[in-house]
A and B are shown apart, each in its own frame.
Chain A
Amino acid sequence: MAPPPALPVHPPSGPHHDSKPPKKSQKEMTKAERKELQERQRAAKAEAKASSQPSSSTPAQKKSNKPAEIVPRPPPTPGRAPREATRGAAAVAHETAAGANERGLRIFSHFGLPKAVSAPKGDIHPVTLRLALQFSEFKIVGANARCIATLIAFKTVIQDYVTPQNTTLSRHLMTHLSPQISHLVAARPMSVTMGNAIRQLKLEISGSDIDLPEQDAKDLLCAKIDQYLSERVLAADGIIEENGQKKIKDGDVILTYARSSVVEKVLLAAHESGRRFSVIVVDSRPLLEGKRLLSVLSHAGIKCKYILLPSIGSIITEVSTVIVGAHSIHTNGAVYSRAGTALVAMMAKQHSIPFIVCCETYKFSEGVQLDSFTKNELAPPGDRIATFPLTKPRESLTLANSPHLEVLNPLYDLTPPTSITAVVTEVGIVPPNSISSIPVALGRLL
């Protein structure tokens, strides 16, 4: 073949062209060289963009963008780009291995990684500090638990609050509570239940009577908090137990996923009232909450089976009903729950098994959610959660972030309303789409 026509080599006009080989046309280059060129061009584009726009726009840009944003060093000259392009993934690994917390998560980068609880800004009440630690260390987990914990902590904060000189409780207390709420959100993103409860609390605070002496106003607020908890959480759970029991008959095989405080109560209540049934607990990593449910149920004397999520296909034919809990339920009837619930729902629907969601009305969220990518949360890496003793050292059983492996643990997923048979709430058993028609759920009637 004739030697390829070489394009004229320009005299070096800066650091750019030092190490560049003479330009060949695209056809003549090997695949590797073409890729190199592409990477170089991308890197050059990335630098130009990196300083002005930190958020990545297209997936193509993401790869080269990430090294530029994450590592705060001066943008590399394009002369070094060929070397970098060949290093490729290794470059990302090198830089990010040093700051392991700042991995470039391609898919879920928009909801960020769990970060350590930062130094509290402002005057945070010790109870709030402790609560934030309980959240970030995954000691208090679950929509109900977090809401209860938040409200009880706020009761203490309200009792310790002193209204300053020139303002009233109804106006100032909310500004006092705001930094506490931000601190809790910084520890872990707020759950829908917490959000609804805090909204109700704000309503109560702004509606509190100016003429009341301070202690009375505080006591009234604490009483309102107690009332909210007892009516919309605990009493609601009681009614759901009764309603849910109707769905459990003797000889049933109930399947449940992970651990929901409401479902646990339903199953225990049904067992108490004398029904004979058995339970299959489906569990998944990394939290392995099902193990705790298993210990509670077997302690109560219920016959249980325990499987992990991948093996659900082999056991689904034996199941008579599936009962799960929820983190929140949306206007379109979609249920936002622990990651894996959607899979269970899909299997159940495929085999025509009724899929029942137990959910209090205060978990209702007014938004419409169509997928679990726009809003989700990542669990922190590592296995600091399970405390059951194991025969093998823990490190060999968990996946850890290594230079060529990133572990993603989204905590929630969305079950579409078409897979759900019924939702058991304290106002009755309703189809999922009609949640939005319940006045109580919308906070109108109380």
Chain B
Amino acid sequence: MVSKESCRNEIRAAIRQLSDRCLYSAAKWAGEQLVGIEQDSSNFTPSNTRFQRGSSSIRRRFSTNESISTPQPSVGFSQPPATPLPQEDEVIDGDLYLLAKSYFDCREYRRASHVLRDQMSKKSVFLRCYALYLAGEKRKEEEMVGLEGPLGKSDAINRELVSLERELSALKRTGAIDSFGLYLYGVVLKEKGNESLARASLVESVNSYPWNWSAWSELQSLCTSIEILNSLNLNNHWMKEFFLGSAYQELRMHSESLAKYEYLQGIFSFSNYIQAQTAKAQYSLREFDQVEIMFEDLLRNDPYRVEDMDLYSNVLYAKEACAALSYLAHKVFLTDKYRPESCCIVGNYYSLKGQHEKAVMYFRRALKLNKKYLSAWTLMGHEYVEMKNTSAAIDAYRRAVDVNPCDYRAWYGLGQAYEMMGMPFYALHYFRKSIFFLPNDSRLWIAMAKCYQSEQLHMLEEAIKCYKRAVNCGDTEGIALNQLAKLHQKLGRNEEAAFYFEKDLERMDAEGLEGPNMFEALVFLATHLKTNKKFDEAEVYCTRLLDYSGPEKEKAKSLLRGIRMAQTGFPSMDMEHFPL
């Protein structure tokens, strides 16, 4: 276990170094983790406690592990030697550097890089290149806005990439590059499409300087499969745990990811980041109640947070918590209305209110702000489905899929849209795709089964196979068992049908449900057992039916009568000898 104090010291130094190099988002992230470390009781100040107040009680409620402050280190994980903090090559920044940094802070990137044109220290070189890169990015964005035509954007690219790559690779060859330079080199390579080299450069960067979260997240975006992730040669450091947590999450290995975060919570018990990530993982596992509480908690500590709040709004939407969603939407909108997340939240709000046109408008706005905003595409697809504009829905879903081909929701949406249009065979392909990415979700299997079952296809055997898979995945909605029973009944396989009806009955009993499905199961079982001469068991079901009113009761009565008749009709039965 890393000591909290050493972590704290490492992060403090890192924040200084990162913001010195204008790597602000990495510094921001590090800062969040810094205050996320639980304070020692000896030297906390009132301001620290204020920040950390009020959350631990709720967190304890959901913690499976009682000892929060000292979680068990994961098996096989030994404490690595701490990576020494690199010494600054210049203790005092040169005057030009100070000027360049001010320019940079005023977002005058080209000016900043110009000021540093003759500076040879690693720090200056990095800032110059970084400023140049950002200048190129800015230009690219402007071009993209300016050049959009009816057939879409032209291929605006960052025009600095070529020269940057040339310079950075030369620096790398001579060894005159530090870990920040390697990070930038990795980013440039990634943009140029050279993924494996980019990965190597980023790995080198995080191995020599692990506190740069931006480098880790770039690296994470390049790990598109577990094989790639496992092939990375990473030094052990507590930052690696953060990385793995986020990478596992992206690869849909939610429980692994949760385990990582639980471990990290031992040190960073008050980290908002970890809490949000845990909530994300739980959301994927569909633990909505828990996620809601976590987000409420998060908002209480950090009321002006916009990041990840779109997820919260999804939860509220799923739970149809209209008031809470409205509160969230208004609050976020006052904080920063031109964030894609805010627009998405408002879109969700309108959707819940049934104003689908407005919802679409806000999702569109979110997409204008970030064209690759995956969930907005998918949600917009849902809205279009609601509006019965199938082709627009398909378009939106397809864009989501093209942004991230692993997005099972969008694949599922595509399948649904085609099914709606009466093209079940075509839809099957999309359902298959979505199941490929999430094979353990019963809803997907049920959707596919319904496709097979549709009157156009009528491929019942395949439907049965799908329903079986759904049952194995723990069908939460209780459709599969009933359908299986009915399908078997339809195909004249009464034994199988009886088996599934019985199972379904058990399930309904366990959940305390009643309804037409139950009557159906009882009637079938009673009749089936009666024809198979298992009168005692049949009678049990009939008596259960007698508890209800309506036609079922009459049916039960007549069944019972039949059973009596049959029983009396058998001379061999023992009862026969006793006159009634």
Q: Does A associate with B in a complex?
A: no
Taking beta carbons and an 8 Å cutoff, which residues of B are in contact with A? none
Taking beta carbons and an 8 Å cutoff, which residues of A are in contact with B? none
